[in-house]
């Protein structure tokens, strides 16, 4: 226990994000995930002689969106380079990537760790192309290659070694997934491989500012294992150091089935990829007008929306986290707010509107998400539209129906997809709030000759008010708003 706390882990992540383009980074073959083997191919994907790369404009736009959202320095002139290596999944014998002049440098990723807001600095974000897939048959002498994935555009997001725990690394990665989904540049699906993560891990004595020898963990391909794999590597290194050994620079592959890692390659002499500027691809020049238009249309980040919910609407951090989990949920909530009568752009909201916003958040997170979850439905498949939910909140807030009636209306909305107004009319739930009608009902009670004895008693005992309110409510078949009946009855009785 104390042994582990003597050391401080130092973690940096390299995250590959597959960009959600229609076509590949440098050719027109389909970039879509999956498909029968070797169907999303063309002469360029196969590295056939004479096939030349032409960069996909949308891939650049997506990389710029990410760079802008992370506050990176955008290079108006960057370089595409060849990174050479021989492996069957790369038919050209090199991968087009960016080396000494990436499209984005610096910047940061923001996220929440526990209740603390964290900012981890980035080294760079660059554009590159994906490799094909190898299929190794157990015990076989042959590997099978599918080039459908080869050439799909990626961005690689490289952090500074600023993460200090496996848990923090996990949150950082989740923040990247959330961000790319909000920006609409990737589905961030780790299981399908559109988000992949390599971790550089080292340890050092707590208090030291020097970096220890690092190892590179590869093959962490699910959220479930990110924390586990890094935690395991930290403990493995502590073990080595404590037993008098020395951590060696190597690449280790995570074996999820065994819950352990194994050495894949020792990096005694750093690998020589012989980077060189790709002669087929002149410098990438970003037009400033284009960049400005991308910046102007940049979707809000999850952290910006979180701040909006916390500061302007006064929601709790928990509510804000639930709502910002997915962009679709945020959008749904914002639409519901409008329908509930909460203005979207006012600088500050009064208490009334804030509590209405809170009511919206409650209905969404506890009632609607509860049912959707039970039915394994996404928010996009919700039978209750955002407009309907907002309308329901407005009906409850305005006292048209009570909170309890609201629940019944809500369940019927979920079942029938009808609007709250329709259901309220059908069920005859609308509360009577017209003061003239309520006054008439109350007057009928107090003017009833049979009531005069009770009125005399009331003068002695004001607690009898409830008796008269009950009578008046009965006159309206229970539809009148009780608080209004009570107030009007009180003033009528005072006149007696």
Residues at the interface with other proteins (CB under 8 A): 16, 21-23, 28-32, 36-39, 41-43, 46, 54-60, 79-80, 83-90, 95, 130-131, 133-137, 140-147, 193, 196, 218-219, 221, 251, 253, 255, 264-265, 271-272, 274, 277, 279, 281-285
Q: Residue 229 carries which DSSP code? A: H
> Which of left, alpha, beta for 244 (phi over 0: left; psi -120 to 50: alpha)?
left
If the CB atoms of residues 133 and 236 are measured against other proteins, the closer one turns out to be 133
Vertex 117 angle, CA 347 and 180, to 5°: 80
Please report how close the Cβ of residue 219 comes to other proteins at its closest, in angstroms. 6
Please report how close the Cβ of residue 428 comes to other proteins at its closest, in angstroms. 55
Q: Is the dihedral of CA 274, 275, 281, 283 positive or negative?
A: negative
Please give the Cα distance from 66 to 294 (Å, whole number). 10
Token representation of residue 485: 């009946």
If the CB atoms of residues 90 and 397 are measured against other proteins, the closer one turns out to be 90
Please report how close the Cβ of residue 335 comes to other proteins at its closest, in angstroms. 29
Token representation of residue 32: 């879509």
If the CB atoms of residues 81 and 301 are measured against other proteins, the closer one turns out to be 81
Vertex 360 angle, CA 355 and 366, to 5°: 115
Please report how close the Cβ of residue 360 comes to other proteins at its closest, in angstroms. 37
Q: Terminal CA-to-CA distance of the chain, rounded, Å?
A: 79
Please give the Cα distance from 233 to 50 (Å, whole number). 45
Please give the Cα distance from 274 to 85 (Å, whole number). 9
- Cα distances (Å, whole numbers) of residue 134 to 88, 137, 312: 8, 10, 51
Helix ranges restricted to H, 428-475: 435-447, 452-460, 465-475
If the CB atoms of residues 185 and 472 are measured against other proteins, the closer one turns out to be 185
Please report how close the Cβ of residue 187 comes to other proteins at its closest, in angstroms. 16
Please report how close the Cβ of residue 176 comes to other proteins at its closest, in angstroms. 16
Please report how close the Cβ of residue 34 comes to other proteins at its closest, in angstroms. 14
If the CB atoms of residues 88 and 399 are measured against other proteins, the closer one turns out to be 88
If the CB atoms of residues 238 and 281 are measured against other proteins, the closer one turns out to be 281
If the CB atoms of residues 96 and 372 are measured against other proteins, the closer one turns out to be 96
């Amino acid at each position: 226990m104390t042994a582990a706390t003597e050391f401080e882990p130092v973690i940096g992540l390299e995250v590959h994000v597959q960009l959600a383009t229609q076509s590949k980074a440098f050719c027109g073959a389909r970039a879509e995930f999956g498909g029968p083997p070797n169907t999303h191919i063309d002469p360029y994907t196969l590295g056939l002689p004479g096939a030349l790369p032409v960069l996909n404009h949308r891939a650049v736009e997506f990389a710029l969106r990410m760079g802008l959202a992370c506050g990176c320095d955008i290079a108006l002139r960057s370089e595409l380079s060849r990174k050479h290596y021989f492996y069957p999944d790369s038919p050209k014998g090199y991968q087009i990537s960016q080396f000494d002049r990436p499209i984005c440098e610096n910047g940061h990723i923001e996220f929440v760790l526990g209740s603390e807001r964290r900012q981890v600095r980035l080294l760079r974000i660059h554009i590159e192309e994906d490799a094909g897939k190898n299929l190794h048959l157990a015990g076989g002498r042959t590997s099978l290659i599918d080039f459908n994935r080869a050439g799909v555009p990626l961005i690689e997001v490289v952090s500074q070694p600023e993460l200090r725990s496996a848990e923090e690394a996990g949150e950082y990665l989740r923040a990247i997934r959330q961000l790319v989904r909000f920006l609409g540049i990737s589905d961030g699906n780790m299981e399908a491989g559109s988000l992949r993560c390599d971790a550089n891990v080292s340890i050092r004595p707590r208090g030291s500012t020097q970096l220890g020898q690092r190892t590179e963990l590869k093959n962490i391909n699910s959220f479930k294992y990110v924390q586990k794999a890094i935690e395991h590597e930290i403990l493995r290194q502590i073990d080595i150091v404590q037993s008098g050994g020395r951590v060696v620079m190597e690449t280790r592959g995570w074996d999820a089935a065994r819950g352990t890692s194994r050495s894949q390659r020792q990096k005694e002499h750093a690998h020589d990829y012989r980077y060189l500027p790709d002669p087929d691809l002149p410098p990438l020049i970003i037009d400033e007008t284009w960049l400005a238009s991308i910046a102007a249309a940049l979707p809000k980040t999850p952290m910006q929306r979180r701040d909006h919910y916390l500061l302007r609407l006064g929601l709790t951090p928990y509510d804000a986290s639930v709502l910002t989990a997915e962009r679709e949920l945020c959008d749904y909530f914002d639409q519901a707010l409008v329908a509930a009568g909460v203005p979207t752009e006012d600088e500050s909201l009064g208490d009334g509107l804030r509590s209405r916003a809170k009511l919206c958040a409650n209905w969404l997170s506890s009632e609607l998400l509860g049912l959707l979850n039970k039915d394994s439905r996404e928010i996009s498949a919700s039978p209750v539209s955002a407009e309907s939910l907002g309308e329901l909140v407005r009906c409850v807030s305005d006292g048209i129906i009570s909170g309890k009636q609201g629940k019944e209306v809500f369940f019927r909305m979920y079942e029938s997809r009808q609007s709250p107004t329709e259901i309220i009319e059908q069920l005859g739930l609308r509360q009577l709030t017209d003061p003239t009608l309520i006054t008439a009902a109350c007057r009928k009670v107090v003017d009833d000759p049979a009531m005069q004895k009770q009125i005399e008693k009331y003068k002695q005992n004001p607690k009898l008010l409830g008796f008269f309110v009950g009578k008046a409510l009965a006159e309206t078949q229970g539809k009148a708003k009780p608080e209004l009946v009570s107030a009007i009855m009180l003033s009528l009785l005072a006149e007696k």
